[in-house]
């Protein structure tokens, strides 16, 4: 009986996720009424990596659709709330989870309005004030509906907002990838080039799976354990900040690209190479920021002190915090550098590779899919575990 109930629950969650993805796909294909593709809109997409950026944060700015902004405001709001909490501004660290979620929702609405304004007015996709107001309202409503879909999938489906973003990445980048492969196949020795591309992608996949699981072990001693027992391990992941850097960082990097369009096409602020350099530097910084969010040395030191754990040769309390902070900075450097380089290469692909630009985002897509699939896999394992446990009990009873 329990086994049947768990299976029904799993199928129900899977069905909910598929239904939400269907709604998201339909909304992404509905054109925005009263809006038109302007010269400024084409110019921004051609001269900047904003289209690629939007895929990574649950949006699709390459098409004037109802869901083109997508989850981007939510990503920025999450970053904003985390920043205030870490810096302990306005007593954010004392708020309850429910209070923080309400603030995050209002911030999402605010950022949705800002981004709708930037797209509508900055890219001149309307012809008069009335149309501009209506388009801004529709874009804002569409974005908030996508955020609601993500929340519904988090509560009743599988993967939460991660599933929407991964679906968006695959569906958005596949056409560009197919065009790039066709162009590659038309070159002399095209089959060899395609084979080399597939092999390279496979090697990149293996590397990022291994790198995403790699960690630096810190040995701890527990005062309640025997001296003969093996030390406990406190793992520091080498790639802790990658997922949040791509999801939330991309949302933040899109805003300057939208806003600087007001300065004109000749401004150095809209130069694609300048944007790529700035994006790489910001990605490097954001990686460290999200790494410290995932692994807070101060909180870890407090937890160790309460659990009677200590690092051999390091005093508990403040010395432990400083030691963990130093190790975290050193261990995270390769991940920050690799992700910044990979991000810059993916964003620069449109300018360097021309017709083969779709290949430039392959490594970046692999990174995102690997990280997202691990999160979805963990949730599926949690849902399947009761089924396996029930089966084991039946086998033991026999």
Give residue for tokens 């994006």.
279
| Strand intervals (E) in 145-237 | 215-222, 232-237
* pLDDT-wise least confident of 107-121, 175-189, 206-220, 246-260: 246-260
| pLDDT band, very low/low/confident/very high, at 260 (cuts 50, 70, 90) | low
pLDDT reported for residue 263: 54
Judge contact between 49 and 84, C-beta under 8 A.
no
| pLDDT band, very low/low/confident/very high, at 92 (cuts 50, 70, 90) | confident
Q: How many Å from the N-terminal Cα to the C-terminal Cα in the chain?
A: 17
Asked if the model's pLDDT at residue 331 lies above 90, the reply is yes
Q: Which residue has the higher pLDDT, 89 or 69?
A: 69
| pLDDT band, very low/low/confident/very high, at 138 (cuts 50, 70, 90) | very high
Mean pLDDT of all residues belonging to the chain: 79
Question: CA–CA separation, 14 vs 361, rounded Å?
Answer: 29
pLDDT reported for residue 342: 79
Q: In the sheet that 215-222 helps form, which strands lie side by side, from edge to edge?
A: 232-237, 215-222, 309-311
| pLDDT band, very low/low/confident/very high, at 345 (cuts 50, 70, 90) | confident
Report the pLDDT averaged over residues 59-73. 84
Asked if the model's pLDDT at residue 327 lies above 90, the reply is yes
Share of the chain above pLDDT 70, in %: 78
Q: For the residues of 259-273, what is the DSSP string, one character each?
A: HGGGG-TTSGGG-HH
Asked if the model's pLDDT at residue 148 lies above 70, the reply is yes
Report the pLDDT averaged over residues 141-146. 92
pLDDT reported for residue 86: 72
pLDDT reported for residue 351: 60
Of the candidate CATH numbers 1.10.3370.10, 3.10.129.10, 1.10.3720.10, 3.10.110.10, the domain formed by 2-397 belongs to 1.10.3370.10
268-295 tens-digit pLDDT: 555 667 767 777 888 898 899 889 888 8
pLDDT reported for residue 19: 92
pLDDT reported for residue 306: 87
pLDDT reported for residue 329: 94
| Strand intervals (E) in the chain | 215-222, 232-237, 309-311
| pLDDT band, very low/low/confident/very high, at 210 (cuts 50, 70, 90) | confident
| pLDDT band, very low/low/confident/very high, at 88 (cuts 50, 70, 90) | confident
Q: What is the pTM of this model?
A: 0.75
Which residues in 343-360 are b (16+ Cβ under 10 Å) and which e? Answer: bbbbbbbbbebeebbbbb
Report the pLDDT averaged over residues 369-373. 72
Q: What are phi and psi of 58, to 5 degrees?
A: 85, 20
């Amino acid at each position: 009986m329990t086994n049947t109930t768990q299976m029904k629950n799993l199928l129900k969650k899977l069905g909910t996720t598929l239904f939400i993805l269907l709604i998201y796909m339909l909304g992404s294909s509905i054109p925005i009424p009263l809006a038109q593709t302007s010269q400024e809109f084409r110019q921004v997409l051609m001269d900047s990596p904003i289209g690629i950026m939007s895929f990574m944060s649950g949006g699709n700015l390459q098409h004037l659709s109802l869901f083109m902004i997508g989850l981007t405001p939510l990503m920025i709001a999450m970053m904003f709330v985390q920043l205030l909490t870490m810096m302990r501004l306005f007593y954010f660290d004392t708020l309850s989870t429910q209070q923080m979620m309400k603030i995050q929702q209002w911030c999402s609405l605010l950022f949705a309005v800002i981004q709708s304004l930037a797209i509508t007015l900055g890219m001149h996709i309307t012809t008069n004030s009335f149309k501009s107001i209506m388009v801004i309202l529709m874009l804002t409503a569409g974005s908030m509906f996508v955020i609601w879909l993500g929340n519904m999938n988090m509560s009743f489906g599988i993967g939460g907002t991660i599933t929407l973003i991964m679906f968006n990445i695959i569906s958005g980048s596949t056409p560009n990838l197919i065009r790039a492969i066709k162009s590659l196949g038309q070159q002399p020795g095209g089959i060899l080039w395609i084979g080399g591309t597939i092999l390279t992608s496979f090697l990149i996949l293996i590397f990022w799976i291994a790198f995403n699981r790699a960690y630096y072990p810190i040995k701890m001693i527990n005062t309640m354990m025997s001296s003969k027992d093996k030390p406990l391990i406190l793992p520091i992941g080498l790639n802790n900040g990658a997922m949040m850097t791509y999801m939330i960082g991309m949302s933040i990097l899109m805003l300057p690209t939208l806003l600087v369009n007001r300065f004109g096409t000749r401004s150095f602020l809209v130069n694609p190479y300048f944007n790529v350099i700035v994006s790489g530097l910001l990605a490097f910084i954001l990686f460290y920021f999200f790494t410290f969010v995932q692994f807070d040395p101060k909180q870890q030191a407090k937890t160790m002190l309460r659990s009677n754990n200590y690092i051999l040769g390091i005093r508990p309390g403040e010395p432990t915090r400083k030691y963990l902070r130093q190790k975290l900075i050193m261990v995270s450097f390769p991940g920050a550098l690799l992700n910044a380089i990979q991000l810059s290469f993916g964003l620069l692909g449109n300018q360097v590779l021309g017709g083969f630009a779709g290949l430039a985002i392959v490594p970046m897509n692999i990174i995102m899919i690997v990280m997202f699939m691990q999160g979805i896999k963990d949730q599926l394992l949690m849902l399947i575990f009761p089924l396996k446990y029930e089966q084991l009990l039946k086998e033991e009873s026999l």
